Every structure is written in C-alpha cells, then in structure tokens.
Amino acid sequence: MKHIPRKRFGQHFLSDGGIIEAIVGAIAPQPGQPMVEIGPGLAALTQPLVERLGRLTVIELDRDLALRLRLHGQLDVIESDVLKVDFTQLAHTLQAPKIRVVGNLPYNISTPILFHLLEHVSVIEDQHFMLQKEVIDRMVASPATSDYGRLSVMLQWRYAMENVLFVPPESFDPPPRVDSAVVRMVPHDAPAAVRPALLSELVQVAFSQRRKLLRHTLGRWLEGRGFAGHFDTQRRAEEVPVHEYVALALTLDQKA
C-alpha cells in the first residue's frame, strides 16, 4: 500500500536516483562500518547504504514506516523520536567506539536534532545530513556575513563542515517549497574544552540583537558576571570569529 507523506512529521521522500547515488558517493560507506540513519522513510537512501554496509541501524518515528522497515532482514529498527535517542548508549550497544550518522532530517526539527547530536559528539565519527539549504548556509557561514550566527558558532566550534551537494525540490516526493543540500560534519580531533551550556548562553546573548554593537548586549552580560578582562564590544556579533567566542567562554570558565 502506498505511504501518504505526513505533514506533521515533515515527510518529503527522496526519489531522484542520480541524487541518491551522489549522496551515497559522498558518504562512502564501507562494509561493516557501524552506521545509523535518521528518518529512513521509504528506504530510498537506506537500501544502497545497507547494500554496501551489510547491516544498518535506522531510527524512524512513523509507526507504519517502522513496520515496513522491520521486514528488511538487514535493518535494526529503532521506532522513536530521534531527540529521545541516546546516541552514546547506541554506540555502546553497537559495540563501536565511534558511529557514522546519516539522514534526511525533517526540516521542522533539524536544528534541535543537530544540537541533540552535539551532546553525543564524542562517539561520532562523522555526520552526513540532507537539510534545508538555508540551514546549511548558516551552519558553514563565515564571520561578517548575514548567515553567520549562533548555529555557525556552536557547530563550527565542534565540527569541520562542508556543503557537499545541492538538492533541488523536484528530487523529492512531495517536493518541498525550499532548496535542500547535503552537509558533511566531521568532529574536530581536539576542540577547546569549553562548557557547551556556557558557550551557548554567551553566543545567544551576543546575537540577541545582532544589529546593535555588542556593548549593548554581551557587554552588559559580561559586566553582570564581573568580567574584568578585555573583549572588544565595539563590534557587532557577526564580526566576532568562532575562536574569539570560544576563548572568551574559556576565560569565564577559569574565572568561575
């Protein structure tokens, strides 16, 4: 029976064979690698992946799709909201020090998924995701550009990222109203040991009024914390590179 895409799950199923082949080529799965796919849907990407891997773990929220996927002998199906999945525990279950994560992420919750995975980055070898192109533009943005913001800083602190493939709307059924792209995310080997919650709060304050100079936002926040060091607040948030935000968070941590 044909599956009708569910709007509440943000379902847009990949159907372009050429694009599927290009994505699999970018992922480059090797036999036996522990890999987890988020939102396999109708298995357009799942099938070519599992053919190369031998076995694949998939996370699917839609009950009907999960039922179909369980009929596939090479898939281990986790029927769950991905935001409730403990990827650190999952890596332990798969008896793997590191896992590879892939998926066509639902546009309506793509950012929460990225931040959820950030909590488990220590067990992740790499991530390849299809997302709204606009989101990927923000993820990989450079300072002093309109796309550069909190998402850029938080992810670039922890990952090297690359926009590897453009995916037009007609590659999906039903076609979304936006362009898509595929991003490669590889965790840095030795990131600065900053507390994620502190960096997140700092960056959120900085970008809360991005048109204003930082002295109106981050400057006052730093004063409230008794910060006596030097940080140039005569700039706008988008002018500050990632490493400066990270260094500031490290300084605040040492002071605490």
**Residues in binding site:** 12, 14, 39, 60, 81, 104
| Amino acid in the structure at residue 32 | G
Binding region for S-adenosyl-L-methionine? 12, 14, 39, 60, 81, 104
3-state per-residue secondary structure call for 181-223: EEEEEEECCCCCCCCHHHHHHHHHHHCCCCCCEHHHCHHHHHH
Note whether 155 and 147 are within 8 A (CB): no
**Which H/E stretch holds residue 59?**
strand 56-60
Quick one: 88 exposed, middle or buried, by C-beta within 10 A (0-12, 13-18, 19+)?
A: middle
Note whether 155 and 139 are within 8 A (CB): yes
The β-bridge relationship of strands 56-60 and 75-79 is: parallel
Following CA atoms 48, 64, 94, 194 in sequence, which dihedral angle do they give, to the nearest 10 degrees? 100
